[in-house]
Structure 1
């Protein structure tokens, strides 16, 4: 049965450059508008330190924040 080729999000989010990019987005004013940013950072830190695989949760929030920035904040500028 073919399963496809998954994107290695779990690995990417543990790399320093990705980690910093996501940290910046998770602490943005847009993130504070919709989320408890301290909880987002805890998810991210637990993932980076391999305490849990939070990659799907992180990816979902990251996708939302990018989508929101693209279609709402840039349109209102």
Structure 2
């Protein structure tokens, strides 16, 4: 496993140590790994959303009303 050293203000160090003290994490390293994983997940979701928005922007206009779109979605649930 690679090692990484970071410098943070005392306030952030205290915050991370408090998360560990609560018992949610076994160490500050465990806490930082969880934050990095969450950031990776967030970025993947953000990129997917941006791609889906672009697909929508490139699609042709529709004559459907909002009400008909909602009704169709409810029907397909």
Tell me if TM exceeds 0.5.
Answer: no
Relative contact order (C-alpha < 8 Å, sep 6+): which is higher? 1
Larger radius of gyration: 2
Query: TM-score range with shorter-chain normalisation?
Result: 0.3 to 0.5
TM-score when scaled to structure 1?
Answer: 0.36
TM-score when scaled to structure 2?
Answer: 0.36
